[in-house]
């Protein structure tokens, strides 16, 4: 009796001791992370001002200095930080010119192709460090041709021109930016028979709509001389190392092989200002363009041509194998150091980069500083957190792609999720995209953070009020550094930002002044809306015993998308029954693993101290982590083998857009054009491929061999 009483007393005393002296629960630290006591608006403002004091394109000394700043900041946060370098092919403008002959009777006009400094510009002393306006990886050459106006340069725009009887062959097209990726604008022009392409920013889209509208620095709009530069490369990573890392002394394909790959344009192109674009538009005759092809209220009437205006476009670029630098910071997990939660943002910018990308870099450093404060309070992550600051994203997601390709197998077996922030802040309104199993987690994080523009509500409440379509977008497009993680190796991913598009994108006017006046005047959006949500999602993925994934959301999404495709070709004899069967199996497996998670939680208590329960939790989490990998196929998409994911990928004609079931979608487009039995047979084959991938994912979730 005394022994029993003593044992009971010892158990009670031990329990009391554990409760009294054990560290706070992880949820305590998560709440602390998003509290106002840890955020620092002045610090984030300082980071942004420092990072954007000079233009810092990839491969430049200024960008190397920015890398050093990120490295030193992470190190100061007691985070183990290092630089990973790659030698990659980058291009820079060597010479360029553009001349317009409005008509045979008029003298030629030579454009100066310069973005103008504004009165009081605080960056006037370093403006000459901004690269001359160009397209990265543009084809060098000299072309002459009459101009054809092609609206946004989409495939359907060329279809409209064909219906109007306009022949594009041998012309130089003039396209306005805004609906599709600029690289696809150039590619579509080439496929239509054009010899060159000019891309301008229309006042209707970026200049405030004309009329009495003011522009930067008086308002947020793009000045008339502003030019949106950028890459026209349609691949990912270094073009000379397709599929493998650009490490020192590595194998490289030749420039001729790069050009034959189909990922770089085969005609010269150039970005130009809205003012220059309007001058060229005034020289175009022919039929009047459709109403929805027209410009702002005081713009000239847009006609389609060809001519009589003729342009002479000359561009010569230099190709350089340059060193780029990814900055990596690691906070090692205590219980599961071999499971990685990865946060990433890129550092390189075409010009000053206050919005794109260094609002995100400043937010990344803010997250790092808050994590340091948590560590001082006793927090230690369960899983490893990796903070990544990528280089050369603007050229083709290069830094992140090279790192993923170099670490492919390790990441495929250990990465829990990748969380991306590119342009953290460009205005009001929260936006998030991700793979469906992260939907609930993103919503829950947004429900915990106060809306910076309205203290009476949460970000989630603002979010649902301002969204007309689906709340959370998807990540099939190749618009930022999540691409290699999700689309190449199948790591669950999310991307978030505050604000949508912004008028001075990729121009000389994306500077600290624009951000301070129009993007985030007191830097509260950057801190509260991005760093808080971003960090909170990361903390929950890193700390929670059970990974907060819900694949039932995935199954529901796949069901809807499959039904849409089936309805689109209901008269073509294609059966989707294998896919629907696999989706049902995925739904069952998702419900089963959710129930298993619940059962383990309910059975816990003192038994949780047993090793067997730790093994069960680890095994269940591995199934949740690895299910996304099963949606990939080692052969990749037809004619796009780098993209391995069979559920999401970029649209074939818009690298920034995405399509669900991309292999099926590509095959349907081809079959509609050819309308042969063989082409429709390929569609059926692609349905089977996706059905097999979805079944593989359900088997992974189920965790049992057949």
Q: What is the pLDDT of residue 605?
A: 59
* pLDDT more than 90, % of the chain: 86
496, 423 in Cβ contact below 8 A?
A: no
CATH code where residue 532 lies: 3.40.630.10
504 occurs within a structural domain? yes
Do 176 and 222 lie in one domain? The reply is yes
What is the extent of the structural domain holding 181?
91-315
Please compute the mean of the pLDDT values over residues 661-689 and round it to a whole number: 95
Do 353 and 280 lie in one domain? The reply is no
Q: What is the pLDDT of residue 651?
A: 80
Task: Look up residue 379 and give its two tokens.
Answer: 């927090």
Task: Look up residue 63 and give its two tokens.
Answer: 């960008």
9 occurs within a structural domain? no
Do 536 and 557 lie in one domain? The reply is no
Do 199 and 297 lie in one domain? The reply is yes
Task: Look up residue 585 and give its two tokens.
Answer: 């199996």
Does the pLDDT value for residue 421 go beyond 80? yes
Does the pLDDT value for residue 21 go beyond 70? no
384, 333 in Cβ contact below 8 A?
A: yes
404 occurs within a structural domain? yes
* pLDDT level of residue 527 (50, 70, 90 thresholds): low
Residues 572-587: tens digit of each pLDDT: 999 999 999 999 999 9
* pLDDT level of residue 500 (50, 70, 90 thresholds): confident
Do 95 and 80 lie in one domain? The reply is no
Residue among 458, 462, 433 nearest 447 (CA) = 458
19 occurs within a structural domain? no
546, 593 in Cβ contact below 8 A?
A: no
383 occurs within a structural domain? yes
Q: Classify residue 444 as left (phi > 0), alpha (psi -120 to 50) or beta.
A: alpha
Do 167 and 77 lie in one domain? The reply is no
Cα 617 to Cα 550: distance, rounded to the nearest angstrom = 16
5 occurs within a structural domain? no
Residue among 65, 2, 158, 30 nearest 540 (CA) = 30
Q: What is the pLDDT of residue 208?
A: 87
Q: What is the pLDDT of residue 61?
A: 98
| Domain's final residue, options 499, 523, 543 | 543
For 312, what's the count of Cα atoms within 13 Å in the CB-facing half-sphere?
Answer: 8
279 occurs within a structural domain? yes
Instruction: Extract the runs of DSSP E, i.e. beta strands, from 21-132.
Output: 80-101, 109-110
Residues 281-291: tens digit of each pLDDT: 999 999 999 99
Does the pLDDT value for residue 513 go beyond 70? yes
Catalytic choice (336, 393, 402, 628): 393
Does the pLDDT value for residue 23 go beyond 90? no
Rg (CA), the chain: 27
- Is 461 exposed, middle or buried, given 0-12, 13-18 or 19+ CB atoms closer than 10 A? middle
Residues 42-101: tens digit of each pLDDT: 889 999 999 999 999 999 999 999 999 999 999 999 999 999 999 999 999 999 999 999
- Considering only 3-12, 136-145, 243-252, which range has the smallest mean pLDDT? 3-12
Describe the crossing of helices 677-702 and 551-568 by its angle, rounded to 10 degrees: 170
**DSSP states of 611-646 as a string?**
HHHHHHHHHHHHHHHHGGGGGB-TT-BTTBTT--BS
Q: What is the pLDDT of residue 611?
A: 54
* pLDDT more than 70, % of the chain: 95
Residues 320-371: tens digit of each pLDDT: 999 999 999 999 999 999 999 999 999 999 999 999 999 999 999 999 999 9
Residue among 96, 111, 135, 104 nearest 277 (CA) = 111
Cα angle 490-688-697, degrees, rounded to a multiple of 5: 35
Residue among 312, 493, 309 nearest 417 (CA) = 493
Does the pLDDT value for residue 19 go beyond 70? no
Do 193 and 290 lie in one domain? The reply is yes
Residues 99-134: tens digit of each pLDDT: 999 999 999 999 999 999 999 999 999 999 999 999
Does the pLDDT value for residue 599 go beyond 80? yes
* DSSP conformational letter for 484: I
337 occurs within a structural domain? yes
Does the pLDDT value for residue 606 go beyond 90? no
Mean pLDDT of all residues belonging to the chain: 93
Cα 511 to Cα 523: distance, rounded to the nearest angstrom = 14
| Domain's final residue, options 288, 315, 342 | 315
Do 224 and 343 lie in one domain? The reply is no
Q: What is the pLDDT of residue 626?
A: 98
Does the pLDDT value for residue 15 go beyond 50? no
Between residues 23 and 15, the one the model is more confident about: 23
Residues 434-452: tens digit of each pLDDT: 999 999 999 999 999 999 8
Do 119 and 72 lie in one domain? The reply is no
Concerning whether 393 is annotated as a catalytic residue, the answer is yes
Cα 352 to Cα 345: distance, rounded to the nearest angstrom = 16
Q: What is the pLDDT of residue 602?
A: 86
Task: Look up residue 154 and give its two tokens.
Answer: 């989409």
CATH code where residue 156 lies: 3.50.30.30
Q: How many domains does the chain have?
A: 3
Do 276 and 398 lie in one domain? The reply is no
Cα 428 to Cα 142: distance, rounded to the nearest angstrom = 43
Cα 346 to Cα 349: distance, rounded to the nearest angstrom = 8
| Domain's final residue, options 516, 543, 570 | 543
Cα 499 to Cα 429: distance, rounded to the nearest angstrom = 5
Do 439 and 534 lie in one domain? The reply is yes
The total number of residues shown for the chain amounts to: 706
Predicted TM-score (pTM) of the model is: 0.94
DSSP-derived pairing of the beta strands 383-390 and 135-136: unpaired
Residues 169-202: tens digit of each pLDDT: 999 999 999 999 999 999 999 999 999 999 999 9
Q: What is the pLDDT of residue 492?
A: 98
Does the pLDDT value for residue 143 go beyond 50? yes
Task: Look up residue 408 and give its two tokens.
Answer: 């492919």
Do 147 and 65 lie in one domain? The reply is no
Please compute the mean of the pLDDT values over residues 650-667 and round it to a whole number: 84
């Amino acid at each position: 009796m005394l022994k029993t009483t003593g044992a009971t007393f010892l158990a009670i005393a031990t329990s009391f001791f554990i409760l009294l002296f054990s560290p706070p629960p992880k949820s305590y630290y998560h709440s602390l992370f998003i509290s106002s006591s840890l955020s620092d608006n002045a610090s984030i403002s300082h980071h942004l001002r420092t990072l954007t004091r000079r233009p810092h394109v990839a491969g430049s000394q200024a960008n190397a200095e920015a890398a050093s700043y990120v490295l030193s900041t992470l190190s100061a946060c007691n985070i183990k930080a290092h630089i990973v370098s790659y030698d990659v092919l980058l291009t820079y403008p060597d010479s360029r010119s553009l001349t317009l002959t409005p008509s045979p009777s008029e003298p030629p006009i030579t454009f100066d192709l310069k973005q103008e400094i504004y009165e009081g510009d605080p960056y006037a002393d370093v403006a000459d460090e901004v690269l001359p306006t160009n397209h990265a990886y543009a084809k060098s050459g000299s072309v002459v041709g009459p101009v054809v106006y092609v609206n946004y340069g989409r495939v359907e725009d060329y279809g409209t021109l064909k219906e109007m009887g306009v022949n594009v062959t041998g012309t130089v097209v003039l396209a306005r930016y805004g609906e599709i990726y600029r690289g696809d604008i150039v590619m579509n022009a080439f496929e239509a028979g054009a010899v060159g392409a000019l891309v301008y920013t229309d006042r209707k889209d970026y200049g405030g709509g004309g009329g009495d509208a003011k522009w930067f620095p008086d308002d947020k709009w793009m000045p008339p001389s502003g030019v949106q530069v950028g890459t026209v490369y349609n691949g990912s990573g270094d073009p000379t190392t397709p599929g493998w890392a650009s490490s020192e002394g590595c194998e490289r394909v030749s420039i001729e092989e790069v050009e034959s790959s189909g990922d770089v344009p085969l005609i010269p192109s150039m970005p130009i200002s809205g003012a220059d674009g309007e001058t060229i538009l005034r020289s175009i005759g022919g039929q009047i363009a459709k109403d929805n092809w027209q410009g702002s209220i005081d713009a000239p009437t847009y006609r389609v041509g060809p001519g009589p205006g003729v342009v002479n476009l000359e561009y010569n670029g230099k190709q350089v194998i340059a060193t780029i630098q990814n900055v990596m910071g690691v906070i090692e997990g205590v219980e599961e150091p071999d499971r990685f939660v990865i946060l990433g943002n890129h550092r390189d910018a075409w010009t000053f980069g206050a919005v794109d990308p260094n609002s995100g870099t400043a937010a990344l450093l803010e997250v790092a500083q808050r994590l340091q404060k948590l560590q001082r309070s006793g927090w230690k992550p369960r899983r490893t957190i990796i903070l990544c600051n990528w280089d050369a994203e603007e050229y083709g997601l290069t830094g992140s792609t090279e790192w993923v390709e170099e670490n492919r197998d390790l990441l495929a077996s250990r990465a829990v999720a990748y969380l991306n922030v590119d342009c953290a802040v460009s205005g009001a309104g929260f936006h998030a995209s991700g793979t469906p199993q992260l939907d609930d987690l993103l919503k829950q994080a947004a429900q915990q953070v106060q809306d910076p523009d309205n203290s009476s509500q949460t970000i989630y409440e603002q979010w649902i009020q301002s969204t007309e379509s689906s709340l959370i977008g998807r990540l099939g497009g190749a618009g930022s550094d999540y691409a290699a993680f999700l689309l190449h190796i199948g790591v669950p991913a999310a991307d978030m930002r505050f604000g949508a598009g912004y008028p001075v994108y990729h121009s000389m006017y994306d500077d600290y002044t624009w951000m301070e006046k129009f993007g985030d005047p007191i830097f509260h959006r950057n801190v509260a809306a991005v760093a808080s949500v971003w960090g909170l999602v990361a903390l929950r993925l890193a700390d929670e015993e059970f990974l907060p994934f819900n694949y039932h959301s995935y199954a529901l999404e796949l069901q809807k998308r499959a039904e849409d495709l089936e309805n689109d070709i209901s008269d073509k004899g294609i059966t989707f029954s294998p896919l629907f069967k696999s989706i049902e199996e995925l739904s069952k497996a998702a419900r089963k693993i959710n129930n298993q998670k619940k059962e383990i939680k309910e059975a816990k208590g003192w038994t949780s101290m047993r090793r067997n329960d730790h093994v069960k939790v680890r095994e269940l989490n591995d199934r949740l982590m690895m299910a996304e990998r099963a949606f990939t196929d080692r052969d990749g998409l037809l004619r796009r083998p780098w993209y391995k994911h069979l559920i999401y990928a970029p649209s074939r004609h818009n690298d920034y857009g995405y399509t669900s079931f991309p292999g099926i979608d590509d095959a349907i487009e081809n079959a509609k054009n050819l309308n042969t039995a063989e082409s429709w047979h390929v569609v059926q084959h692609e349905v089977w491929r996706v059905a097999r991938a979805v079944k593989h994912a359900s088997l992974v979730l189920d965790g049992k061999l057949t």
